[in-house]
Amino acid sequence: MRRTIGWNLILSFLLFSSVIIGLFGWFSVRMLDSHFSEYVSERRTEEITGFTDEIETVYAQTDSWDEEAVAVIGRQALQADIILKVYDSQGALIWSPSVMEEQENRQMMSSHMSQMNEMMGGTESEYTVTTVELNDGAQKIGSLAIGTMGTYFYTDHDVAFMSDIRNNLLIVALLAFALSLFFAVWIARKLSVPVFAVSRFTGEIAKGNYTERPPKETNIVEIDALIRSVDSLSRQLDNQQEIRNRLSSDIAHEIRTPLTTLKGNLEAMLDGIWEPSSERLKICYDEVNRISRLIGNIDKINEMESSHEKLVFSRFDLQALSRKVAANFTAAAAKKQIALAVTGEPLLITADQDKISQVLTNLLANAIKFTPKQGNIRIEIQQEGNRAVLKVSDDGIGIDPEDQEKIFERFYMTEPSRNSKSGGQGLGLAIVKSIIKKHNGTVRVVSTIGKGATFTVTLPMDQN
């Protein structure tokens, strides 16, 4: 049977409380019965001892038996539900209650024991007779037969006292149970209400409503951490949704532009407006090539982010590879009179050389694209602990702080118009991030508007 967290908490708390209260009550009653029974037994023994001493005192006063005095003591004993029979040293009967008195007293004791058993439980006892010697110093003067209903004989007052104690314990147990119920409901509500709020919040997220306000934080550390985590997840999903929407729009735009150009040229040639010259066919070819590059770059990213893509590791010099890639951009740098330098000592690393070459190519292409004439670009290689650090710095236009966290996303361009003119598609840095992530490395950018940018790549020296 499925229950809410509130009912589970309440039932668990009540079960635990019931067990604790029940065990405490059971031990309390057992200890009370035990100690009170000992008290009653000691009291009964003291009563019998007292009657015995009084009878011995009667004999000691006259060195003979005063039957009237003995009878007074005997009838006092009957009132205490004790039947006494006094015998002299030869065994002759000195005094005993009449047959009717004895029968009435025994009936009263039996009736009283029955009432005790009904009210107290477990107090059944048989009528017993115990004989003790009566002495005057060292001289035996007779014997005393004592008839009782056992040593645990409770008076009406004792029974009433024990009954009141048990009733009070029951009342205390019920009050404790009611208090436990109150605290169980209070604790269950305190815990379940924010959990229900988080559940409703996650339900809204599951429906795609990422703008839903998160529940208010509580004083419970774990629930507050859960609220913050779910809220962070909601913001990330909202951001991912925006990225997907923009991605679809950007892909459509990047494909639509060359297709429109291609379609217009082909229609013009088919309608006879344009002659299918080499120049116009070259324009069509360039647009087709532009679409091919776009699809190829998207495939590269998907391959790198796929768990099935395997890297081909080899041992190579990162500085030598940097100089080799930089040499490929010598002409492009010279065209803008850009000073391109590679610094640092030779550094051997284990990585996929082709993929790292792609990283360097994309970072240098980006730097040359956004560095003005007579600017500077520097590639720096160094070792920090067990990691290789590659820095590509320029003194170009820089990147706005708001854009620095987004430039590694697919199709994100800080200046779309400029990228469009230069053939950019907003995929170069996304490819860089995918390759570096596949190598268990990191890539980040530090930039100030108007002062250039520095891209820092860190890679493990060895790939385990």
Tens of pLDDT along the chain (464 residues)? 666 777 777 888 788 888 888 888 888 888 887 888 788 788 888 888 999 999 999 888 888 888 899 999 999 988 888 899 999 988 999 999 988 988 888 888 777 677 666 655 555 567 788 899 999 888 899 999 998 876 556 666 777 787 888 888 889 888 988 888 888 888 878 777 888 888 888 888 888 887 778 888 777 788 788 888 888 888 888 877 776 776 677 667 667 777 887 888 888 888 888 888 888 788 888 888 877 877 776 676 666 556 556 788 999 999 999 999 999 999 889 999 999 999 999 999 999 999 899 899 989 988 998 898 999 999 999 999 999 999 999 998 888 887 777 777 766 665 544 444 444 556 778 888 888 988 999 999 998 888 889 999 999 998 76
Q: What is the CATH number of the domain that holds 114?
A: 3.30.450
Residue 42 lies in a domain: yes
394-to-33, 124, 322, 366, 372 alpha-carbon distances in Å: 93, 104, 15, 10, 10
**Domain for residue 390, yes or no?**
yes
Cα-based distances in Å from 453 to 384, 393, 448: 21, 6, 7
Output the domain CATH number for residue 341.
3.30.565.10
Amino acid (1-letter code) at residue 242: E
Q: Domain range spanning residue 374?
A: 311-460
Domain stops at, among 155, 175, 195? 175
Within a domain: 150: yes
- pLDDT score, position 464: 66
Name 86's bridge partners.
Answer: 95, 144
How far apart are the C-alpha atoms of 303 and 427, rounded to whole Å? 14
Give helix 353-370 / helix 318-328 axis angle, nearest 10°: 50
Given 124, 150, 175, which residue is the final one in a domain?
175
Residue 287 lies in a domain: no
Q: Which of 308, 265, 267, 312 is nearest to 287 (CA)?
A: 265
Q: Could you give the number of structural domains in the chain?
A: 2
Is residue 261, in this structure, part of any structural domain at all? no
The alpha carbon of 300 is separated from its chain's Cα centroid by a whole number of angstroms, namely 41
Examine residue 243 and state whether it is found in any structural domain, yes or no. no
Q: Which of 132, 156, 175 is the last residue of a domain?
A: 175
- Spatial contact of 81 and 158, defined as CB atoms under 8 Å apart: no
Cβ atoms of residues 200 and 192 within 8 Å = no
| Residue 16 amino acid letter | F
The rounded distance, in Å, linking the Cα atoms of 244 and 18 is 56
Answer whether residue 354 is part of any domain.
Answer: yes
In a domain, 107, yes or no: yes
Q: How many residues are recorded in the chain? A: 464
